[in-house]
Amino acid sequence: PVSESSPPLEPAAGDAALAARAHARPSISCVIPCRNEAGNLDLLLPRLLAVLEPLAPAWEVILVDDGSTDDTPQRLAAWTRRAGIRTVELSRNFGKEAALTAGLQAARGEVVVMLDADLQHEPELIPTLLEKWREGADSVYAVRSSRADESLFKRLGARGFYALVNAGDRVEIPPNAGDFRLMDRAVVEALLALPERNRFMKGLYAWVGFRAVAVPYMPAARAAGRTHFRPMRLVNFALDGLIGFSTWPLRLLTLTGFALALLAFGYGLFLVVEYLLHGHRVSGWTTIVVGIMFSAGLQLVSLGVVGEYVGRIFEEVKRRPLYIVKRRRGQGLGE
Ligand code: UDP
Ligand code: MG
């Protein structure tokens, strides 16, 4: 058995470092994934810089162009003439999770803030996030205070997703927290050290642990353009999370298999006894057909679930890079 007296794990920052945080003015990196956000950048960046400049002695904004097909790259290139604004252009669309990872990899700040490019995550909340970091939190995440602005499909879907993914697991993914968050350098290093290719970030944040604190916020409306997460993509996204962060679907199948086997055994016993008591009778056609169809359906579903996991294993063992960088622009730090 594990001894009760094993030494406590070192906190991310030692006590002295924690005390020093209270008045610290850390350098800040902002990571912003952009896919076809040309209409938003000229609104977002002035607002963001107005927040960053008085807040941090040194800052940088890392904009990751995730294979945009509009003139987002040109807009970004123009912005990189300012010191502190940098871009990472990916060679194609790799998805938001990969773009975030690319941005985190490029970030050098003592704290890193991630936010969306569409102004739904208002930069004016960043000082509040930083205040929580000063109070000792290693990661501060913004939680939607209400989903009333969303469709019934999204609301029910979100509720179901969090119930399923958090069912009986050690790692609790906080419901309604998105990618709007501030992280200490230690948390960023921990995230980047995770080798998997399924970058379901909500799960990864929860998995690495550290002291996490929630800050309520109400997302603003998207400034320009439209959402990239249409219903089918959300369903796929949720499946990635579910398969990547729990194995209970497999466990459930095993248990169902056991239950069915028990049932079949009991029924067999019943048939034998009935034969001995009442002699042979050919009947029960309905039972047979229903039984066969039910078990065939269950086997197909089980095969599908196992296939989902095997597919993820296939993705992982290929060991392809998470993203490919086409070009980087910009340099220096903002002050
Ligand atoms: N995004 C991205 N790659 C994608 C899809 C989205 O980098 O393949 C970015 C997008 O530009 C935005 C953020 O991820 O900055 C959130 O996307 P969106 O606003 O469409 O999602 P929603 O807010 O509707 O969940
Ligand atoms: Mg959005």
Residues 298, 290: Cα–Cα separation, whole Å: 12
Closest CA to 256 of 206, 295, 226, 216: 295
Residues 272, 167: Cα–Cα separation, whole Å: 40
Closest ligand 1 atom to 228 CA: 20
Classify the complex by whether its ipTM is higher than 0.90, answering yes or no: yes
Residues 29, 62: Cα–Cα separation, whole Å: 7
Ligand 1 contact, 98 CB (< 6 A): no
Give phi and psi for 11, each to the nearest 5: -65, 165
Looking up tokens 């029910």 gives: 156
Ligand 1 contact, 229 CB (< 6 A): yes
Residue with CA at minimum distance from ligand 1 atom 13: 116
Q: Which residues, 6 or more positions from 150, have their beta carbon under 8 angstroms from its beta carbon?
A: 158
Looking up tokens 């398969």 gives: 243
Ligand 1 contact, 89 CB (< 6 A): no
pTM comes to: 0.79
User: Hey, what are 46's tokens?
Assistant: 């002035």
Residue with CA at minimum distance from ligand 1 atom 8: 95
User: How confident is the prediction along the chain (335 residues), in pLDDT tens digits per residue?
Assistant: 444 454 444 555 677 777 788 888 899 999 999 999 998 999 999 999 999 999 989 999 999 999 999 999 999 999 999 889 999 999 999 999 999 999 999 999 999 999 999 999 999 999 999 999 999 899 999 998 887 778 888 888 888 888 888 886 678 888 888 889 999 999 999 999 988 888 888 888 888 889 899 999 888 888 888 888 888 888 888 888 888 887 888 888 888 888 888 888 888 888 888 888 888 767 777 778 778 878 887 888 888 888 888 888 888 888 888 999 999 988 878 88
User: Hey, what are 312's tokens?
Assistant: 């993820």
Q: Which ligand is nearest to the CA of 202?
A: 1
Separation of 253 CA from ligand 1 center, angstroms? 34
Ligand 1 contact, 179 CB (< 6 A): no
Ligand 1 contact, 100 CB (< 6 A): no
Positive or negative CA dihedral for 244, 101, 121, 110?
A: positive
Start-to-end C-alpha separation, the chain: 54
Residues 65, 34: Cα–Cα separation, whole Å: 5
Residue 70: CB atoms within 10 Å? 13
Side chain identity, residue 111: V
User: Hey, what are 148's tokens?
Assistant: 């009333």
User: C-alpha distances in angstroms, 305 versus 100, 239, 240, 261?
Assistant: 28, 11, 12, 19
Residues 145, 279: Cα–Cα separation, whole Å: 68
Describe the strand order of the beta sheet including 212-217 as a list of residue ranges. Answer: 212-217, 139-144, 177-184, 111-114, 28-34, 59-65, 85-90, 325-329
DSSP annotation string for 125-168: GHHHHHHHHHTT-SEEEEEES--TTS-HHHHHHHHHHHHHHTTT
User: Hey, what are 157's tokens?
Assistant: 């879907």
Residue with CA at minimum distance from ligand 1 atom 25: 229
Closest ligand 1 atom to 178 CA: 25
Separation of 33 CA from ligand 1 center, angstroms? 7
User: C-alpha distances in angstroms, 50 versus 38, 47, 289, 296?
Assistant: 20, 5, 70, 62
Q: In testing the pocket of ligand 1, which one of 30, 34, 35 has its CB within 8 Å of the most ligand atoms?
A: 35
Separation of 99 CA from ligand 1 center, angstroms? 10
User: Hey, what are 35's tokens?
Assistant: 């896919």
Residue with CA at minimum distance from ligand 1 atom 23: 227
Residues 53, 51: Cα–Cα separation, whole Å: 6
Residue with CA at minimum distance from ligand 1 atom 21: 227
Q: Which residues pair with 114 in a beta bridge?
A: 31, 181
Element (DSSP H or E) covering residue 297: helix 285-317
Length of the chain: 335
Ligand 1 contact, 35 CB (< 6 A): yes
Closest ligand 1 atom to 36 CA: 11
